[in-house]
A and B are shown apart, each in its own frame.
Chain A
Amino acid sequence: MTDATTTPMAGRPAKGKSLLKADERTRKRNAAESRFKAYGLAAVLVGVFFLLALLWAIVQNGAPAFTQTFVNLNVELDEARLDKNGNRNIDDIKKVSTFGYNPLIKDALIRATADMQTAVEEGELDKILSSSVGAIVRDRVIANPDLIGQSVEFRFLASSRVDGYLKGRVSREDLVRDKNLDAAHLDLIDLMVDEGSVERVFNWDFITGLDASESRPEQAGIGVAMLGSLFMMLVVLVLALPIGVAASIYLEEFAKQNRFTDLIEVNISNLAAVPSIVFGILGLAVFIQFAHLPQSAPIVGGLTLTLMTLPTIVISTRASLKSVPPSIRDAALGVGASKMQTVFHHVLPLAMPGILTGTIIGLAQALGETAPLLLIGMVGYIATNYPDGVASGFLDPNSAMPAQIYEWAKRADPAYYERAWGGIIILLLFLMTMNFIAIILRRRFERRW
């Protein structure tokens, strides 16, 4: 095709050429053309396929985390066991430990399953329940001692394996070598489901709850980690937005072209590409090792993420400042405003939608970031208490959503994998909402000049 000088072209039929019928060479070129186009289309489809596969995996694996299996039982709160003196003295009642309640629950189970055909021994019945049930009954009794002597209906968490069985994660074959549950238990569960005392309901505790220890996945929730993320995002918002906007205003509106300005510009563009884990190292060395801020605290996470988000905010703010036309500046200067007044009274308000969009996107990026948080210790079994207040929310050890998901993914029990996927659904919902707000802001308020 490029060899226009070679005449006549080899293999070119001299006669019988028709405009209506493509010759061999044209056909080849056209075939190459459609092949090339097909490759492109295939690439797009592969990309879209990966996205759909990822979303499918998330929904498929994560949705079960939002329901949980409960066992409804009537427990006789036997006075002889819980309050020997019979005088409802709260201190005496507190002396009965969690273990003291377990026999009551066992009795309740025996009664509930009395008319069912089961191969499970009576002593093994309580394996279908979470190991947390004793504490639940005890807390309820201590909160309300008058319940003693009555028969009270409780809704207990089923053990994670029973839950897994009803969700199709655990099968009878899996239980052959499992010392926590037998196939006989599952037969019993089938009967109890038919009878209605075992049911799966929406699990609010997953969304609002605390992390639980390795052996009790049925109890674990992401609520405290969510609070940790919230406090971190507050720090990021309060620091990164003003600093980022101020830096961009300086660079875009005031800075003279000199070495110092160049240095800052180069720094910002490089920081935007530094791997996030390096910011984690920075946070560890500067905020914890040097400044002795408390380890694992959301404030340290927030400071670290601030430094990480700053370049993103600066870059988007500068872009939106740049998009305000010079005529606005000229007009303001023309009627006697100072340079500073021009920027703060006229340019900045017009650039605000763009700045907010950039900030929200930066925050969304910070919300999903995990690696730096691992280095400053926001991982492990730490999201176990609700913060006592605002100060404690910033300063006490806490986890964050992505770090909590990582923590669950590392645990050995497959029941925790389901929690991790569920956590991802929540995290992605937050990110989607933030991006959605950013898009709306851009659509509604951004002006095209």
Chain B
Amino acid sequence: MSSTFIFLIVLVLAVLGFFGTKQRALASGGGDRRTLHSLPNYYGINAALAAAVPALVVLAAWLVVQPIVVDRVIGAELPAATAEDRGARSLVLADVRRVADGLDLAVSQGVMSDGEASNLSADSNDIRERLGAVGVALGSDVDARTLRLAQDYRDYARLGAILKTIVVIAVAVIGLSIAYRMTDKDFRARNYVERAVMLLLIASASVAVLTTVGIILSLIFNTLAFFDSFPTADFFFGTRWEPSFSGRGGASDLGFLPLIWGTLFISFIALTVAVPIGLFAAIYLSEYASNTVRSIAKPMLEVLAGIPTIVYGLFALLTVGPLLLDVFGNDGILGVNWMSGGTAAMTAGLVMGIMLIPFVSSLSDDIINAVPQTMRDGSLGLGATHSETVKQVILPAALPGIVGAILLAASRAIGETMIVVLGAGAAASLSLNPFEAMTTVTAKIVAQLTGDGEFNSPETLVAFALGITLFVITLGLNVAALYIVRKYREQYE
């Protein structure tokens, strides 16, 4: 029985339980709802929750665990040599799964009978052709072992499905009947329901923790797998980034330095654009601008923050890049020939700077507004001009907050992906020329994970090592920024 169907059955049970239990509660109070401990609906909700929640948790757990168990059982049937080599093992298992899925599909389309699918033998039938006819393309002919394992796989999967149906529905029925039995006019249904709701609330709040744990685990395990096959020192101190997909393993240079150099260089260009413009805009808008100007200009700047990064990426690739090439490139207006292609560190940095302007300006705006008015009044009262007040009183007072804002902007710049994927070029270089193509950590994560490489090759796994460094850097910047901002806020409140 499919999981969707089981899900629906559980829901139906829950709804039936709701009405049944509500009736029972009312009946136990002699039809007078004033004699009940809780409102009648609480008895119903209690039963519905008792039926649905445990059953659905079991169902979800089953869906996750069953494939793992089946893989392990099938894996145990493999010859020892294949079972030990992780790559070979996962290849064989993937083959087995594909054949088994193909057989399922063939049965469901009526091309094969169920019995036939279980009794096929590899030499008598041309399985590859028959599965191809239902739309399952196999890379090679199916050998006897794969076929036998695929048939075992189907058997286990079917056994699992039957057990799943029985167990889940049994859990639902047991939960429902316990709740039904307990229902009585003195039963404290509301307290039970509220406790259950509380558990659901806590579980939801824990999703954030689970997400972080998931991020850290998925990064760490794959990073460890990467360092198994690639020397750690060569990664962290290598100065060349030249992955090769043809000669797998060993032949690639996967040096981290050119990537982090490109990342920092582009982020630096972005911040040189965004920080002065953002900061001056914030000062102007919070200290000088009239209400009308402010109410027009502030939302306009904030629109820049709401535009998706893919749009900035395209803007860099197709508008800013060619424009810069016209000015700084070969035969350009300046005739300096610094630039040989539209995609360069400068292109990406400039556009990223535009993206960060509203980020810097709105954070700084908040911080400048948080400086107490008494400090302004004091300074102006002593005869300082407005700009002197800003430069010598407000900015020093707001400095920690502004530094925090800049750190947050830097963390955004370092983690930004689409602009650099489209605008910065693909060549990793340790150059000082901002008009040269450069690449970043994020761009290479995309390149390595969207390539055609084998998942277990170092060329693909390196993306996880890059991901963990990115995660650590941005997390560090954020923690530092939040710490600074929080410390500063405490001064004035």
Contact = CB atoms under 8 A, between A and B. Distances in A.
The finding on whether chains A and B are genuine partners in a shared complex, rather than unrelated, reads yes
Contacts of A420: 314, 318
Interface stretch (B81-89, B304-312, B369-377, B398-406): B304-312
B133 interface: no
Contacts of B464: 281, 285
Interface in B179-212: 190, 194, 197-198, 200-202, 204-209, 211-212
A43 B277 contact: yes
B244 to A, nearest CB: 21
B308 A431 contact: yes
A409 B215 contact: no
Given A43-B280, A281-B464, A427-B308, A51 B303 contact: yes
**Max chain B C-beta neighbours (<10 A), residue from A1, A54, A402:** A54
A282 B385 contact: no
Contacts of B201: 246-247, 249-250, 254
B301 interface: yes
B218 A285 contact: yes
Given A40-B283, A284-B449, A405-B314, A274 B207 contact: no
B295 to A, nearest CB: 13
Contacts of A29: 385, 388
B328 to A, nearest CB: 18
Contacts of A369: 308-309
Given A48-B301, A247-B205, A264-B209, A273 B310 contact: no
Contacts of B211: 267, 271, 282, 307, 310
Contacts of B418: 370-371, 406
Contacts of B308: 367-370, 402, 427, 431
B390 A36 contact: yes
B417 A50 contact: no
**Max chain B C-beta neighbours (<10 A), residue from A263, A264, A273, A374:** A273
B416 A275 contact: yes
A82 interface: no
Interface in A396-449: 402, 405-406, 409, 417, 420-421, 424, 427-428, 431, 435
Given A276-B417, A281-B219, A409-B422, A42 B280 contact: yes
A281 B445 contact: yes
Contacts of B67: 292
A121 interface: no
A320 to B, nearest CB: 17
A409 B313 contact: yes
Given A47-B281, A277-B467, A281-B467, A54 B311 contact: yes
Contacts of A405: 310, 314
B482 interface: yes
A274 B408 CA distance: 11
A187 B474 CA distance: 58
Contacts of B386: 33, 36-37
Given A50-B304, A251-B205, A409-B313, A278 B288 contact: no
B415 interface: yes
B315 to A, nearest CB: 6
Interface string B450-493: 10000100000001100100110011001100100000000000
A32 B300 contact: no
A115 to B, nearest CB: 41
Contacts of B303: 51
Interface stretch (B12-20, B155-163, B249-257, B353-361): B353-361
Interface in A311-353: 311, 314, 338-340
A439 to B, nearest CB: 10
Contacts of A374: 446, 449-450
A14 interface: no
A150 interface: no
A366 B278 CA distance: 25
A310 B474 CA distance: 19
B64 interface: yes
Nearest to B207: A243
Interface in B277-294: 277-281, 283-285, 287-289, 293
Contacts of A100: none
Contacts of A311: 208
Contacts of B289: 44
B354 A54 contact: yes
B234 to A, nearest CB: 22
Interface residues of B, number: 93
B interface, by DSSP: helix, strand, loop or mixed?
Answer: helix
Given A276-B415, A375-B449, A243 B387 contact: no
A48 B361 CA distance: 13
Contacts of B467: 277-278, 281
B38 to A, nearest CB: 10
B323 to A, nearest CB: 10
A1 B384 contact: yes
Contacts of A251: 205
Interface in A278-311: 278-282, 284-286, 289-292, 307, 310-311
A290 B65 CA distance: 10
B238 interface: no
Given A247-B201, A264-B205, A292-B67, A51 B300 contact: yes
B288 A37 contact: yes
Contacts of A2: 392
A193 B416 CA distance: 46
Contact of B415 (A268, A277, A431): A277
Contacts of B194: 338-340
A5 interface: no
A289 B221 CA distance: 12
Given A57-B315, A340-B194, A406-B418, A267 B390 contact: no
Contacts of A32: 385, 387-388
A353 B489 CA distance: 29
A250 B310 contact: no
B383 interface: yes
A250 B202 contact: yes
A144 interface: no
B30 interface: no
Contacts of B358: 47
Interface in A359-384: 364, 367-371, 374-375, 377, 379
Nearest 3 CB-CB pairings of A with B: A275-B415, A40-B284, A368-B308
Given A47-B278, A243-B204, A367-B308, 11 more contacts: A40-B287, A43-B281, A53-B319, A54-B307, A250-B202, A254-B201, A264-B209, A276-B417, A284-B449, A340-B197, A368-B309
8 contacts: A42-B280, A44-B289, A47-B357, A57-B318, A244-B204, A277-B442, A281-B218, A375-B446
Interface of A: 1-2, 29-30, 32-33, 35-37, 39-44, 46-48, 50-51, 53-54, 57-58, 61, 242-244, 246-247, 249-251, 254-255, 263-264, 267-271, 273-282, 284-286, 289-292, 307, 310-311, 314, 338-340, 364, 367-371, 374-375, 377, 379, 402, 405-406, 409, 417, 420-421, 424, 427-428, 431, 435
Interface of B: 64, 67, 190, 194, 197-198, 200-202, 204-209, 211-212, 214-215, 218-219, 221-222, 276-281, 283-285, 287-289, 293, 297, 300-301, 303-304, 306-315, 317-319, 354, 357-358, 361, 383-388, 390-392, 408, 411-412, 414-418, 421-422, 442, 445-446, 449-450, 455, 463-464, 467, 470-471, 474-475, 478-479, 482
